[in-house]
């Protein structure tokens, strides 16, 4: 008998019918003799709706109260799921993150899991119950405050629980049947990959691929918990995210991200200490920067651009304006209409020419590259937001990542 951790996303628990199907699967897994711990997201678009609701009451809601509000979403689905499982004659109990002993730091809205005690989870499992835990949430033990981990946080709850409870693997049930070579909503011939390494999946998620939360993949890698991403609507095998992948493609996928904006500080005097003066106050405010570009100096001044999450761009702009004034720069421009496309693949370490091919592919479809950044296994370009889909499709074609048709055109 083994312990199985299953996580069901918002679409998978989006209606009473779907909760019934999820409960069937949970009851069947329990029926096979496994201990089962389930993590659920809020139903359907509940989290989005709650965020919109809060914004009608307050344009910048206090983060603590946002966490109180958002955790209600997962509380609804965990209780309904437990009821649906009970209806099948299988004993079940639901727990909030706090009741499950998921201890986090104090950062409301982006809390990090520090420890999982899991006392009540283990007791309930020992009593033969299925345990259903509300995703994305925990508690800061120092202040006894409820916290959330940010969008997609239920993935992190699931993989961290799998690690803490000694599960062999973690199943992530979602609305696609695995990890694809690009978002299947954009690229119609995107191909499901059977396996992908933690390293590549981390680059995909960090580059905006929404199918898993980055921190879930980090937990998987740190504790070596293989993650099986699969569909809650079928029984087909999905994608295994694990230490070493057998698939050795040069490029494993294309990711895109529309959640960032670009700030440019124009004509900054080019002298030692200027970059520090620009970025120190942004760091002190806890703003996560992504790309940074400093242009070639002309007449003793230079432009400095960076990208940051749209959610913190107002603060980043205010800080940059004050720095620009102090430094005697010309001014600050904010561009919210940008997006990022990234080509990811461990094989590029040993295959030269990937970056050049990215640039020429974008040039062929007349897409201007505004910023570039690379890691050893990734090439990312910031482009006009309106051209992101075209860029993803063109790169997917250029690197021949699509499904091989059954009957080739030249047959
Ligand atoms: P859940 O609510 O189950 O957590 P998400 O919406 O968070 O589901 O994640 C699943 C979605 O991720 C898919 O519907 C798909 O549009 C999107 N996605 C983005 N990139 C990829 C990719 N490379 N492979 C599969 N899905 C992707
Ligand atoms: N419900 C949360 C969200 O929509 C957490 C999750 O689904 O993982 O982001
Ligand atoms: Mg998700």
Q: In CATH terms, is domain 3-175 a member of 3.30.70.20?
A: no
For a mutational test of ligand 1's pocket, the pick from 176, 251, 342, i.e. the residue with the most ligand atoms closer than 8 A to its C-beta, is 176
Look at residues 220, 246, 255, 243 and name the one whose alpha carbon lies nearest to residue 344. 255
- Which atom from ligand 2 is nearest to the alpha carbon of 157? 8
Both structure tokens of 379: 């090439």
What is the distance in A from the centroid of ligand 1 to the CA of 78?
Answer: 21
Strand 378-384's sheet: what is its strand order?
A: 253-257, 338-344, 378-384, 371-375
Mutate to test the pocket of ligand 2, among 135, 156, 172 (most ligand atoms within 8 A of CB): 135
Q: Which ligand is nearest to the CA of 154?
A: 2
Burial 369-406 (b: 16+ CB within 10 A, else e): ebbebeeebbbbbbbbbebbbbbbbbbbebbebbeeee
User: Which tokens is 240 given?
Assistant: 């295994």
Look at residue 1 in the predicted model and tell me its pLDDT: 67
Question: What distance in Å separates the CA atoms of residue 104 and residue 113, rounded to the nearest whole number?
Answer: 4
Which residues of the chain are under the pLDDT cut of 50? 408-411
Q: Within 6 Å (CB) of ligand 2, which residues are found? A: 9-10, 41-42, 47, 73, 135-136, 151-155
Q: Which ligand is nearest to the CA of 47?
A: 2
Backbone angles phi, psi at 360, to 5 degrees: -70, -35
Give nearest CA residue, ligand 2 atom 8: 152
Around ion ligand 3, which residues have CB less than 5 A away?
9, 152
Place of tokens 């099948």: 88
Q: H or E element: which one contains 30?
A: helix 16-31
DSSP bridge pairs for 115: 103
Burial class (CB in 10 A: 0-12, 13-18, 19+), 63: middle
| Predicted pLDDT at 266 | 96
Question: Which bound ligand lies closest to the C-alpha atom of 8?
Answer: 1
Distance in Å, CA 216 to ligand 3 centroid: 10
CA 178–ligand 1 middle distance (angstroms): 9
Q: Report the 10 Å Cβ neighbour count for 123.
A: 12
Beta strand pairing call for 378-384 and 371-375? antiparallel
**pLDDT tens for each residue of 73-102:** 999 999 999 999 999 999 999 999 999 999
Ligand nearest to the CA of 172: 1
pLDDT tens per residue across span 285-342: 989 999 999 988 888 999 999 999 998 999 999 999 999 999 999 999 999 999 999 9
Cβ atoms 301, 265 nearer than 8 A: no
Question: Measured from the CB, is residue 185 less than 6 Å from ligand 1?
Answer: yes
Nearest to 254 by CA among 185, 308, 306: 185
Q: Report CA 63 to chain centroid distance, whole Å.
A: 20
User: CB neighbours of 274 closer than 8 A, spacing ≥ 6?
Assistant: 268, 304, 327
For 374, phi then psi, to 5°, come to -140, 155
Q: Is 3 left (phi over 0), alpha (psi -120 to 50) or beta?
A: beta
User: What would the pLDDT profile of 134-160 be if each residue is shown by its tens digit?
Assistant: 999 999 999 999 999 999 999 999 999
- Give distance in angstroms: CA of 293 to centre of ligand 1: 30
Pairwise CA distance, residues 300 & 273, whole Å: 14
């Amino acid at each position: 008998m083994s312990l199985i951790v299953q996580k069901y996303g918002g679409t998978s628990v989006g209606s009473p019918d779907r909760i019934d199907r999820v409960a069937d699967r949970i009851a069947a897994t329990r029926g096979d003799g496994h201990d089962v711990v389930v993590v659920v997201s809020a139903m359907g678009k509940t989290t989005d709706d709650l965020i919109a609701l809060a914004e009608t009451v307050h344009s910048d809601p206090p983060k603590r109260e946002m966490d109180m509000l958002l955790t209600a979403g997962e509380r609804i689905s965990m209780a309904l799921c437990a009821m649906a499982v009970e209806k099948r004659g299988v004993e079940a109990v639901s727990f909030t993150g706090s009741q499950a002993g998921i201890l986090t730091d104090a950062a409301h809205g982006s809390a990090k899991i520090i420890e999982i005690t899991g006392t009540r989870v283990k007791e309930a499992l020992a009593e033969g119950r299925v345990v259903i835990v509300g995703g994305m949430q925990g508690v800061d033990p120092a202040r006894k405050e409820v916290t959330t981990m940010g969008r997609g946080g239920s993935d992190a709850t699931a993989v961290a629980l799998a690690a803490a409870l000694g599960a062999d693997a973690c199943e992530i049930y979602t609305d696609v049947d695995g990890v694809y070579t690009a978002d299947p909503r954009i690229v119609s011939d995107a191909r499901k990959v059977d396996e992908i390494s933690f390293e590549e999946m981390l680059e995909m998620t960090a580059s905006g691929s929404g199918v898993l939360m980055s921190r879930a993949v980090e937990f998987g890698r740190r504790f070596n918990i293989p993650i099986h991403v699969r569909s809650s609507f079928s029984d087909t095998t999905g994608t295994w995210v694990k230490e070493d992948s057998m698939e050795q493609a040069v490029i494993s996928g294309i990711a895109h991200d529309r959640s960032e904006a670009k700030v440019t500080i124009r004509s900054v005097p080019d002298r030692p200490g200027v970059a520090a003066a620009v970025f120190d106050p942004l760091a002190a405010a806890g703003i996560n920067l992504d790309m940074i570009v400093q242009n070639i100096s002309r007449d003793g001044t230079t432009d400095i651009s960076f990208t940051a999450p749209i959610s913190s761009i107002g603060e980043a702009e205010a800080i940059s304006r004050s720095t620009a004034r102090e430094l005697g720069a010309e001014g600050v421009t904010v561009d919210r209409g940008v997006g990022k496309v990234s080509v990811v693949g461990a094989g590029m370490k040993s295959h030269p020419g990937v970056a050049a091919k990215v640039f020429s592919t974008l040039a062929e479809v007349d897409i201007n590259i505004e910023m570039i950044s690379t890691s050893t296994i990734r090439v990312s370009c910031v482009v006009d937001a309106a051209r992101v889909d075209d860029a993803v499709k063109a790169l997917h074609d250029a690197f021949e990542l699509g499904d091989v048709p059954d009957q080739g055109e030249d047959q």
